[in-house]
Amino acid sequence: MTIQIIRTYTELMQIQDYLDRYKYLRLGGEVGRETFGWERYINQKFYRSSEWQAFRREIIIRDHGCDLADLDHEFGPGENVIIHHMNPIDTGDIVYQSRYLMNPEYVISVRDRTHKAIHYGDESLILSLEYSPRSPNDTCPWR
């Protein structure tokens, strides 16, 4: 018998540190592991629906346009924003509209790179997003 850990937005928001939020969500999956397989058309149709698009917009607003809802990690212009299901879903969740599918308590806004790090456990993907502090003349190559 496997005990399933249910991750929630409420619990995630109790974690203040960005890296700790990532660790809470990390799934540690395998690259190339099939998720929806030949039924991928089902999730693609769902994610293009107007219902999902409206829900997606609400979640991005709730999360203040920030990766993992962390105010120090705003999304940049034109950046690919993903609404991550904190508890992995499958075809049955979509077909039968499970409670995890479109419930704000079970999703979070993330960058594409953060999403990959969550699924594949590669912390270096999000650590590379840390920016160096600006310094005088840092945009002038001849100084």
Per-residue pLDDT tens over the stretch 35-81: 555 576 788 899 999 999 999 999 999 999 999 999 999 998 889 99
User: Helix, strand or coil for residue 141?
Assistant: coil
CA atoms within 13 A on the CB side of 139: 1
- Tell me the C-alpha distance between 30 and 32, whole Å: 6
- Tell me the C-alpha distance between 74 and 44, whole Å: 27
Q: How confident is the model at residue 141 (pLDDT cuts 50, 70, 90)?
A: low
The pTM assigned to this predicted structure is 0.80
Give the pLDDT of residue 99: 92
Q: For 6-24, what is each residue's pLDDT tens digit?
A: 999 999 999 999 999 999 9
User: C-alpha distances in angstroms, 51 versus 43, 62, 115, 127?
Assistant: 13, 17, 22, 34
